[in-house]
Structure 1
């Protein structure tokens, strides 16, 4: 089964983004996908900022992305762009780090006015990393994710519906990619 890596680029461990990721992750787990999450904020800051390719934790995170079939790039939007924390991780990926992978952006921001930040800020970087198969993804507004007293999250029905569609499309694309890969292998095509 295909492997999904979630690159979570929020500097805030209690971010509402976690509610979105937990919801989508549940959908993919139910479909049998292997999932790994790279929480960029948990990587050693010095290694990340200095691109220390001798750091084992940083190398493991990069290897996780390289081994993935699908990559979810998730983060908050600040000042009309994704977080600098997320950018610092994308900067240490190899030049072809997203080549051949299906990418799904999942973002959250304070206002719908920053909706196009995914199109104009993130997608060019994905392209520069070799990513050619980028799904539309989901942009959510903070008010659509309520933090609950027990530490959980409550998502609006509209957001759940949008996440269901995006998660299903991502799963379908990954399944088709796996099917095509198996057919090429059986036919002896590299």
Structure 2
């Protein structure tokens, strides 16, 4: 299997890249436990910033960016991580998905994640990133992971700490990549509405 990890971090080292790596490792470990080998390809958008700006202005991607776009299209799963600026994803992150073919992620499992200086920006995952990938017809895993600055020091604390969320999200992505449902299926039988009405009628 091929897993593509897209990091829009701008600094070096980057907390965005660190989160991306930890999510990729959690996914890889679960896929291995399920009997699947995985090839992980990491894309640092910082290195492609000039190429992305060029293709937006001209419509023609350079060879490096074209290779990355093809790699994303061929992926079995994607992890997409952006820093949060002004309560939303970064411009570089959005620009990359603007130049990606709008059918490239159709039906593809995607794990979304973000980093920021304060937990107050965590809602950007739901009001910015998730709608973006829903628009691109991706299958977004239920658990989105946000890491604020204070989360790194307490990564192993609590039942819903950063480490726990990373593991859960990685398991969900691995399940979708492996062809299993990301969450337990509802096995209850559903009685059609017409039958329910019939049962209420007097004999």
Q: TM-score range by the shorter chain?
A: 0.7 to 0.9
Equivalent pair of 2:9/2:15 in contact (CA under 8 Å):
no
Q: 1:163 corresponds to which residue?
A: 166
> Is 2:89 aligned against 1:82?
yes
The separation in 2 between residues aligned to 1:54 and 1:102, in whole angstroms, is 25
Shift of 1:25: 2.2
Q: 1:134 corresponds to which residue?
A: 140
Q: 1:114 corresponds to which residue?
A: 121
> Is 2:39 aligned against 1:34?
yes
Matches within 5 A, 1:45-124: 45-51=49-55, 52-124=59-131
Q: 2:8 corresponds to which residue?
A: 9
Segments ≥4 residues shifted beyond 6 Å: none
Larger radius of gyration: 2
Further displaced range: 66-75 or 168-177 = 168-177
Shift of 1:169: 1.2
Equivalent pair of 2:110/2:140 in contact (CA under 8 Å):
yes
The verdict on how the C-alpha distance between 1:54 and 1:114 changes in structure 2, with shifts beyond 3 A counting, is closer
Q: Secondary structure at the match of 2:171?
A: helix
Any gaps of 5 or more consecutive residues in structure 2? 181-203
Pick the structure with more strand per residue.
1
User: What TM-score results when the alignment is normalised by the length of structure 2?
Assistant: 0.76
How large is the Cα RMSD of the aligned pairs? 2.0
> Is 2:20 aligned against 1:21?
yes
